[in-house]
Amino acid sequence: MQGTRLDTARIRAARRVIDPMFLDTPLYRCEALEPDLGCAVSIKLETANPVRSFKGRGTELVASLLAGNGSRAVVCASAGNLGQALAWSGRGRGLDVTVVASRFAPAAKLDRIRALDARLELVDGDFDMARERAAALARRDGIRLVEDSLDIETCEGAATIGLELVDAVPSFDTVLIALGGGALATGVGHVLKALAPEVEVICVQPLGAPAMTRSWRQRRVVTTDTTDTIADGVAGRCPIPAVLDDLLLVADDAVLVQEASIMAGMRMLLHHAGLVVEPSAALGVAAILEDRDRFAGRHVATIVCGSNVDVDAYHRWVGAAPVRGS
């Protein structure tokens, strides 16, 4: 695919580096969801691993490369899931991992980063402030900065999900992908457009954190001053230009969904699929709920990308209103 940073051969090779526990995750049709959604729905479950998100695929590549070239120290900014994954992958390879996160990130994510022996530094701001602090630490200490979505390994690790989707039988009409920094969307989107170009790739982002979607629509970087969403894992304000360039090549559409739809999606995944998920993982279901006519009669796959959520907040969200038909 001309002009992209991603390479399909490297993505295939990545499967030989990533710990098999992160690969070949469950993919199944969830018929219990279909009466309320009005379409065939398959779930790609990326939470059945030690870090409970897809991020381990990318950090396995990052940590393997660092260990291979003798690097021992690494720092990243994280909304929570990347930090956990880098801590897990780094611990197994003897790396000294520092994670910078917002003090307001879900406590469950922060506690898990600490439990995985990473050094955790908190900032009194959002994820983009954490990015600035992580970059400053990398410059000060002369250590490797891992920047989610900008570092190609994070995208190509996530892209291995696309290989597994392409191999599925029967194939899908549409794949719905949570959109934050862009690693998941560009990685999976690249593989789908390279190997199954007939599959529609739709990215989904919260209305309260629309920067990347607005950027995709305007074909230029659009930043926002704030975010306001429960989906902390996709709540960035400042898209990375190189990542946007990759996204423009693979996304057929990018849509914004309301908070009420995200919570409804979380409830549906709990009640009908038995899945406890974080808000970012329910974005695909939310997109169907907001536009049932668009997806009627189609076979849609949605990537359930994470399940790291604070229990108290989760109960507030899923208990807010009943799911129609449940």
Element housing 287 (H / E) = helix 283-290
Which pLDDT does position 322 carry in this prediction?
54
User: Domain boundaries in the chain?
Assistant: 8-53+152-318, 54-146
Pull the structure tokens for residue 192: 């789908």
Question: What pLDDT is attached to residue 271?
Answer: 96
Can you give the pTM of this predicted structure? 0.95
Same fold, 8-53+152-318 and 54-146: yes
The pLDDT of residue 207 is 98
> Mean pLDDT per 10-residue run, the chain (326 residues)?
92 97 98 97 97 98 93 94 97 96 94 96 95 97 96 98 95 97 98 97 98 98 97 96 98 98 98 97 98 98 96 91 49
Strands across the sheet with 299-304, in order? 27-29, 40-45, 299-304, 174-178, 200-206, 253-257
Residue type, 21: M
Task: Provide the CATH number for the domain formed by 54-146 in this structure.
Answer: 3.40.50.1100
pLDDT on residue 326: 41
**Which CATH number applies to 8-53+152-318?**
3.40.50.1100
**Sequence-ordered list of residues with C-beta below 8 angstroms from that of 180, at least 6 positions apart, any chain:** 79, 205, 209, 212, 233, 234, 235, 236, 280
Query: What pLDDT score does 321 carry?
Result: 56
Q: Can you give the pLDDT at residue 325?
A: 45
Relative to beta strand 96-102, strand 73-77 is parallel
